[in-house]
Every structure is written in C-alpha cells, then in structure tokens.
Structure 1
Amino acid sequence: MTQTTLPVPLDVETELEKIAQRYRQAGGVGINILNMIGGQAESLLDRLPTSVRSQLETATVRALDHAMTAAHKSRGHVPDQASWLNSATSAAMGAIGGGGGLPTALAELPVTTTLLLRVIEGVAVEYGFDSELESVRFDCVQVFASAGPLAEDDGSDLAFLTVRLALSGKAVQAIIHKVAPKLAVVMGQKLAAQTVPVLGAVTGAATNYAYTSYYQDMAHVHFGLRRLAIEGDVPSEELTHRLAIRMKELTSA
C-alpha cells in the first residue's frame, strides 16, 4: 500500500531538512579516517579470532545491560559535557584500549558502550526529554539500532526512529536483544580496527573518536525527529516517511 504524504508546515520542512543533512553527514571526517586505517568494514571482522567473533553478541548484551545502569547513574555525579570533550574522552579511552592490543580493547568495550550511551542520553536531555523516564532511556538504546559508522547506509533504513514496544523490564531486554546483533558487528569492527599492527593506540583513539561523533549525530537525528513531531504536531510516522524520501534525494544528488 502506498503511503499518502500529508502536507506539513514549512517550518517543519525546514527542520526536517536540517535533520536529513545531519543524518547524511553523520560521523564526518572520522569515518574516512577509519576506512583508511582499517580497510573495508566487511573484511575487518575476519581479523578477529573465531572465539572472539562467536562471543561478540553475548558480550554486547552484557555491555548494554551494564551501560543502561552505569550511564544513567553517572548523570547524578558527572554533568553532561560538550560534544568535543565527549569525543576527546572517548579517543583517550580508545588509545588506552588499543595500546595493549585485543585484550585491552576487549576490556575497554563495556566502558566505551557506557560512554556512548551516556552521550546519547545527554543529547536527549538537550532536546528537552527527561532521562529519568524509562521511555527516554529506551529510546537511547534504540539509537544503537542505526548500525555503525562503517555500515553502508543510504537512508532507507529508518525503522529505529519509530519502533515501539510496551514499556517494561521485558521490553527493555527485548530492545537490547534486538539491537545487540547489529551492535555486535559494529563493536567487532571497532575491536578489529584497534588491532591494526603498529598503529595500536592511534587506531584506538581514531576509532573511538569516530564512533562517538557518529552516535552523537544519530542521537540528534533521533531526538530531533521526536521533538519535531511534538512541536510540529505531525505524526512521527509521517516525518519518518518524509525523512526517508529526503535521504534518497540526497543520496542520488
């Protein structure tokens, strides 16, 4: 069935254009650096030992479970930071993780996941959403469903913007397990990039910087669209439909 495109106010279209541009540019220069360092995303996972690849999804579920609690609790002790500082902190962590090869990179994985989730929560608050609400924390995990900075994305997969489940402990676990397989691939690519011979810490820093920048951008897309739906009084499904159309136009331009 063809979806009918409803007319929306011009100011909504203007904001939607800004969101589309941010989506298109997510990650920026950092992604080009990663591609130079690590090669194509498809070949990165082949660098990891089979034992590591087989445990990635389980490790990712554990990391997300830990991050959900740790990221939220940290808000009471550490205020939100500027975007550049988040990226700089993440880069420093990546340098430490990459400096010791795969063992330290694996140990750094849950810490990085917590930082990324904390950064996403910070963006939610910036758009006026209450991070104390389980629904908002739920949305924060959904941002990870936007794949990763090395994934090919033509803007056609916008499902993460509109997925909804009944809010409960089981629902949170459901979304974690839904997101985990995709995030496991993302984090596997990150781990593999950090094992590039010789570069070590430099690669770890560049990888974390790029990933933090990417997920900050995707959080702005996600919560920007949520805020626009509320303030513009337009159904989120309609905005998502229009965003998908705009992304295709930007890709083909």
Structure 2
Amino acid sequence: MTTELSLNAPPETHDLAPAGTATLSETDLAALRIAVAALERSTLAGRLSGMVGKPLEMIGHALPAAARDIVTAAVSRALRTALKVALTTLPKAASSRPGGGRMHTALAAASGAIGGALGLMTLPVELPVSTTLILRAIADIARSEGEDLADPEAALACLQVFALGSRTEADDLASSGYFAVRGALAKSITEAARVAAGRGFTDRGAPALVRFMAQIASRFGIVVSQKVAAGAVPVVGAIGGAAVNAAFMEHFRTVARAHFTVRRLERSYGAPAVRQAYEAIRTAMAA
C-alpha cells in the first residue's frame, strides 16, 4: 500500500520551542538566508542543469511504466536498507575524520559509475548503496549542527531530508515549500519516533514506521526518477553515472545543511521566531 504525502497538514508542532520574540543575530540571519535559498530553490534537476551548462527539460518527463516500477521497488528497498544500516550503526558523537563529506561523495560517485555502466536494471542494487552513503553524510551534518542522534526524532529527521530534497521545478512553492513538507510529516515522524524509542529501529514492520517510510518514499521517488531520466539525456550520459551520483549526493548534503541549520536556530530562538524570519526571507526572494 502506498501512502501519499499530503501537503495540506497543519504546521509541525512536535519540536516547537515556546513562543518568543527573540531577534536573530546577523550571523544567524545570514545562515538562515543560505538555508532558505537551499530549501526553496535547490533541485536536483537544477544542479544537473548547472553541471552540463544547459537546461535539461527531459528530466521532468515521465518514465515508461516499466522503468517506474523498477524505480518504485528500488526506492522502497533503498530506504529500508538506509533505516536498518545507517541509523543503527552510526556513532552518536560527531566524527573527527577530516574530509568526511568528500569521502561520502567519492564513494557515491563510485557506486554511480558501476550503475551507469550496467544500466537501469542495477538500480535496485546501486540505489540502496548510494542512499545509505547519503544518509551517513546527512547524519554527519546533523551532528555538526548539534543534533543528538541518540534521540529517535533527530535520527528520523535525517531521513526527512530525502523528502525535503525532493522538490521539482514544477512544484507549487506555496504547497511544497520547506515548512509545508515538514508539517505534512509532523504526525508520522512523532509516532515513528515514539515507536523507535520503545522498540528500536529494528522493528521496521511497526505501522508508524511503515507509514513514515512510505511518505518519505513518495517524495524521494521523484528525484530518483529524475536521476534515472538524466541518464537518458545524451549530454548527461556522456558525463557518466559517477558524476550524476556525485551531484545526487551534493544535492542532499546541501538540503541537509539547510534543514539542520533551521533546527539549530529553532533550538536557540524558538520555532515561531525562526519561522517568521524564514518566511520574510522567502517572501523577499520571491519578490
């Protein structure tokens, strides 16, 4: 059964700090401006277009039914694998390894090179590998922004990045913006975190976790389809699967940095103050 992610849900409330009137510092406002730009404007198609130096209209086209079936199965398997592997084996303390982000990108590029050479049929094998690598990179960013990954809600916020980073150029910004997607996921992430706190992430069959993962999959499948379609564009195909996977990784790392910046600021200033500043910046950008 597929669970669609409704973007008409009420605003997220489970992690909101008490209402306050704190004013963000100039440094934090600058960080928030960067976050807004990433969360509201960054798309995988845009990154790939920038990589090849021209718009890639074909990326928005629908895949054939057979290809869509392969993508759907690959996305479900990838997210199950990521939940099982990444969130149960990540160290909870911040990593001291230099260049961790570059290492994750290099490994993702290597897996993409293999997938690019062998074609669409390797996606069910390649995507779980690259998705787990991306999730580990997201978790490194989360820790660097002060998240405690021993808290199930914070760990699930890492998976939330796959939904937040799945906007397309055709999306209605009013209904698919950052806070709209967070709000749509609010109830399921709270319920999933409660289950994970009691039973751990190994009980992946719990209805709350299944529902949460289905919502993530409904969004993540959009950009995976774009990734697959990009391989059919001659100018992208000539660059190869390694470059496409590197762009895939960097896209989600950018979104993760922005997402966890917002969460860090919410802990400092309270969610209402941060959202007010966020919406003001978003409105100014749109104007």
1:67 corresponds to 2:82: yes
Q: How does 1:105-144 map to 2 (within 5 A)?
A: 105-144=123-162
**Aligned match of 2:281:** 246
**Percent identity of equivalent pairs:** 28
Structure 2 residue aligned with 1:91, among 109, 121, 134? 109
Which residue identity lines up with residue 221 of structure 2 in the other structure? A
Corresponding residue SS for 2:240 = helix
Q: What's the CA shift for 1:110?
A: 1.3
1:148 corresponds to 2:166: yes
**Aligned match of 2:34:** 21
**Aligned match of 2:181:** 160
Deviation per residue, 1:21-67 (Å, 9 max, x gap) = 24424478655126748544312x33xx4222135334322211111
In the superposition, the TM-score normalised over structure 2's length comes to 0.71
Q: Which runs of 5+ in 1 are unaligned?
A: none
Distance 1:61 1:31 in 2: 27
Which residue identity lines up with residue 37 of structure 2 in the other structure? R
Corresponding residue SS for 2:149 = coil
Q: Does the 8 Å contact 2:47/2:251 carry over to 1?
A: no
Q: What's the CA shift for 1:222?
A: 1.4
Residues 137 and 201 from structure 1, CA distance in 2 versus in 1: closer, same or farther, beyond 3 angstroms? farther
Q: What's the CA shift for 1:8?
A: 2.9
Distance 2:281 2:247 in 1: 25
Q: Does the 8 Å contact 1:145/1:160 carry over to 2?
A: yes
Count residues with an aligned counterpart: 241
RMSD: 3.1
Deviation per residue, 1:208-241 (Å, 9 max, x gap) = 1112111111111211111111122x1x244234
Corresponding residue SS for 2:166 = coil
Q: What's the CA shift for 1:104?
A: 2.5
Q: How does 1:195-214 map to 2 (within 5 A)?
A: 195-197=232-234, 200=237, 202-214=239-251
1:170 corresponds to 2:170: no
Residues 20 and 160 from structure 1, CA distance in 2 versus in 1: closer, same or farther, beyond 3 angstroms? farther
Q: Does the 8 Å contact 2:52/2:236 carry over to 1?
A: no
**Aligned match of 1:227:** 264
Q: What's the CA shift for 1:147?
A: 3.8
Q: Which runs of 5+ in 2 are unaligned?
A: 1-10, 12-18, 196-205
Residues 99 and 198 from structure 1, CA distance in 2 versus in 1: closer, same or farther, beyond 3 angstroms? farther
Which residue identity lines up with residue 141 of structure 2 in the other structure? V
Deviation per residue, 1:55-86 (Å, 9 max, x gap) = 5334322211111111134435xx66532332
Q: Does the 8 Å contact 1:154/1:247 carry over to 2?
A: no
Q: Does the 8 Å contact 1:196/1:203 carry over to 2?
A: no
Residues 34 and 205 from structure 1, CA distance in 2 versus in 1: closer, same or farther, beyond 3 angstroms? farther
